[in-house]
Amino acid sequence: MKIKINISSEILTKPIMAEAILETGVLLNISQAHFDRSHGEVVADVDSDKFDLMCKSLTNRGAVVIKLDVPIKWDETECVECSACVSVCPTKVFSLAEDFSLVVDDKKCIQCGTCVDMCPHNALSLGNNK
Amino acid sequence: MVKKTIHEINGKIRDGSVNVVTAEEMVHIVGELGAEEAAKEVDVVTTGTFGAMCSSGVWLNFGHSEPPIKMQKVFLNDVEAYTGVAAVDAFIGATQISETLGMDYGGAHVIEDLIRGKSVHLHAMSHGTDCYPRKVLDTTLSLDDMNQAIMMNPRNAYQKYNAATNSTRSTIHTYMGSLLPSFGNVTYSGAGVLSPLSNDPDYMTIGTGTRIFLGGAQGYIVGEGTQHSSGGGFGTLMVQGDLKKMSTDYIRAANFTGYGTSLYVGMGVPIPILNEQIAQATAVSDAGVTTKILDYGIPSRDRPAMRDVTYEELRSGFVDINGKEVPTSSLSSFKKSRIIANELKDWIAKGEFFVSMPVERLPKDISAKPMKQTEGIAIVSDIMAVNVVTINKDASVYDAAKIIQDTSFNHLPVLNDDKTLAGIITAWDIAKAVSLNKFDLVEDIMTRKVITSNADEQVAVVARRLDLNEVSAMPVINKDRHVIGMITSDDISKLYARRS
């Protein structure tokens, strides 16, 4: 399952993820990370049955953990099937069928939000993190 | 030699015997029968395109209020419309953005809302005259309440359009969408095989007065569009149509992140097949329409071309750039373009739409000029400071503090032993080091990722880089990464202050 780890500026320089991985022995597969002066955000995959353990360990170190269980939402009434989203998606969620209809395979979505910025028709959205 | 007249074709439309096909179907028909036989068989070829067309808008007439007003400024849902014409006429343009919502809502959205039957809030101001005494007006209007709502698009339906990519190391947001770093993707516009002007590149039948499909209604070509550049194959059309009869299936507002609003316009142009030359022209396929991939990472009017590319390659999903397979995205909807070509075909087959000859043909072999600029374009080397105080990365934080104190320079470029740029240190970095009680070497506290500029860059481009990165100064470096100057936001302010 996918999770988002929010790290506030006070603990930004501390290796809290490394510590949590060592402490729990649970693996985190990081798919994206963003840091600036004000905060940090990391999106990662973790085994569903190990989530509670990892969440507790990260939370103890000051991070805020959110489950990302809703993939990209496609609003078919706003979509004009231009295919702008196709080339920016890192995991090939979007493709065009033979008849140029848009096909959305949301199981592949890592919820990075790149397509949300790209879509000219506000037809793509992320429920809980964008 | 085939020779048909518009009159004959319209006769066939009237009696239901017309043979009308889409430009996609025509590729195969000419392929099988040859142009001459195809010209005998086929009477009309329909084209279609559905994409972002920024140069679009609507002329509105609101009717007169009591007492009347001569509008000097008018806003529709907080989006300004141009009313520097008669009292209650205004032009709402697609890319004008909301005073309150910014890029989230613009003229294009006002247009879409009106077609959807929604009411919009009108706010107008005037200084009042003897004949038009009212000074302020607020009301709510829907499309039905207006006398006219005439879509009038100065530049639509580009014959073909340059594709876009990005050579830089960061994502850029453009009217061609998000362009990912290091040639991460390519975006393109236009309908290729179905593109109206690509199917009649010599303008044999398309011109002033041609009846067309516009936004789901019948419209007309006014003439050449602005920036019409037929010489290079970049012809454009100025078109008009009645907004009151249009549908949101074919007119849609759009937002391009970081750029603003635009209008997706659906248009279809019928091409009467009067002879085999016209039949041959309509046989053009995606492989026969070539454009260029431009590097939008270079913020210049003359963006460098990476390579030529056909619409066939673009539509395949990948193109090769410098040996790398780069994914492509269309910004125009080919599915919608096809629906439009088929809808227009239907209208003609059912006898609801008649073809026309232009009263004037579009100009051929002309090209759009770049702007004449009477003020010189300032470049970085004109205004950068050349006396730069630098510091070695092995110097102490104390030394850095002393230099800043003695010279009153706020930014010190930090150099490696070979004099190349290693980082930058500011008074803020020193204050931070002091607050952490960290009095080590400059190297330990400097910012390593330095935002830099080159001496031959345009000041306007560099000013935007300062702004985007929220820094107030940048080292100017040469190709060996030696610091040859500094440019600060103060230098830039002075340049513009001097001009105004």
At B250, which amino acid appears? Y
Residue B121 β-bridge partners: B140
Distance of CA A10 to the CA centre of its chain: 23
Q: What is the mean pLDDT of residues B408-434?
A: 90
**CB contacts < 8 A (A, B):** 69
Q: Is B413 exposed, middle or buried (0-12, 13-18, 19+ CB in 10 A)?
A: buried
**A24 inside 8 A of chain B by CB:** no
Reported confidence tier of residue A128, pLDDT bands at 50, 70, 90: low
Q: Which comes out higher in pLDDT, residue B338 or A71?
A: B338
Reported confidence tier of residue A66, pLDDT bands at 50, 70, 90: confident
Q: Which comes out higher in pLDDT, residue B408 or A106?
A: A106
Q: How far apart are CA B173 and CA B166, in angstroms?
A: 10
E strands, B40-183, where?
44-46, 49-52, 57-61, 73-76, 79-81, 89-93, 97-98, 102-106, 120-125, 136-141, 148-156, 163-165, 172-174, 177-179
Topology, domain B380-499: CBS-domain (3.10.580)
Task: Return the percent helix, strand and coil in chain A, to nearest 5.
Answer: 25, 30, 45
Give which of A26, A61, A70, A65 is closest to A46, Cα–Cα. A26
Contacts of A121 in chain B (CB under 8 A): 252, 254-255, 264
Stretch(es) of chain B classified as CATH 3.10.580.10: 380-499
Q: Is B100 exposed, middle or buried (0-12, 13-18, 19+ CB in 10 A)?
A: exposed
Mean pLDDT of chain B: 94
Q: What is the mean pLDDT of residues B254-268?
A: 97
Domain ranges of chain A: 2-68, 71-130
Inter-chain contact A82–B187, Cβ cutoff 8 Å? no
Q: How far apart are CA B74 and CA B110, in angstroms?
A: 13
Asked if B309 and B16 touch (Cβ cutoff 8 Å), the reply is no
Residue B269 has pLDDT above 90, yes or no: yes
Distance of CA B437 to the CA centre of its chain: 52
At B149, which amino acid appears? A
Q: What is the mean pLDDT of residues B19-27?
A: 98
pTM above 0.90, yes or no: no
Domain A2-68 sits in CATH at: 3.30.70.260
Contacts of B328 in chain A (CB under 8 A): 86-87
pLDDT given at position A130: 41
ipTM metric: 0.81
Inter-chain contact A84–B187, Cβ cutoff 8 Å? yes
Asked if B240 and B222 touch (Cβ cutoff 8 Å), the reply is yes
**Residue B432 Ramachandran class (φ > 0 left, ψ -120 to 50 alpha, else beta):** alpha
Residue A89 has pLDDT above 50, yes or no: yes
Q: What is the mean pLDDT of residues A89-114?
A: 92
Domain A71-130 sits in CATH at: 3.30.70.20
Residue B164 has pLDDT above 90, yes or no: yes
**Secondary structure in 3-state letters for B185-214:** CEEECCCHHHCCHHHCCCCCCCEECCEEEE
Task: Give the pLDDT confidence of B323-352 residue by residue, as tens digits.
Answer: 999 999 999 999 999 999 999 999 999 999
Distances (CA, A) of B201 to B34, B59, B143, B205: 19, 30, 37, 10
Q: How far apart are CA B73 and CA B123, in angstroms?
A: 8
- Residue B479 CB partners (closer than 8 Å, separation 6+): none
Least CB-CB distance to A87: which of B187, B264, B338?
Answer: B187
pLDDT given at position B72: 97
* DSSP state letters, A72-121: -EE-TTT-----TTTTT-TT--EEE-TTS-EEE-GGG-----HHHHH-TT
Question: Could you tell me the sign of the dihedral formed by the alpha carbons of A74, A78, A81, A84, in that order?
Answer: negative
Q: Which comes out higher in pLDDT, residue A71 or A92?
A: A92
Residue A37 has pLDDT above 80, yes or no: no
Q: Which comes out higher in pLDDT, residue A51 or B439?
A: A51
Residue B492 has pLDDT above 90, yes or no: no
Inter-chain contact A80–B333, Cβ cutoff 8 Å? yes
Which residues of B are catalytically annotated?
A: 131
Beta strand pairing call for B97-98 and B49-52: unpaired
Q: What is the mean pLDDT of residues B18-24?
A: 98
Q: Is A43 exposed, middle or buried (0-12, 13-18, 19+ CB in 10 A)?
A: buried
Residue A1 has pLDDT above 90, yes or no: no
Q: How far apart are CA B415 and CA B424, in angstroms?
A: 9
Least CB-CB distance to A80: which of B50, B184, B328?
Answer: B50
Residue A20 has pLDDT above 50, yes or no: yes
Reported confidence tier of residue B498, pLDDT bands at 50, 70, 90: low
Q: What is the mean pLDDT of residues B284-301?
A: 94
Write out the two tokens for B439: 């009095």
Q: What is the mean pLDDT of residues B271-276?
A: 97
pLDDT given at position B499: 58
Residue B301 has pLDDT above 50, yes or no: yes
Q: Is B452 exposed, middle or buried (0-12, 13-18, 19+ CB in 10 A)?
A: middle
Write out the two tokens for B103: 């890029």
Q: What is the mean pLDDT of residues B135-149?
A: 98
Residue B264 has pLDDT above 50, yes or no: yes
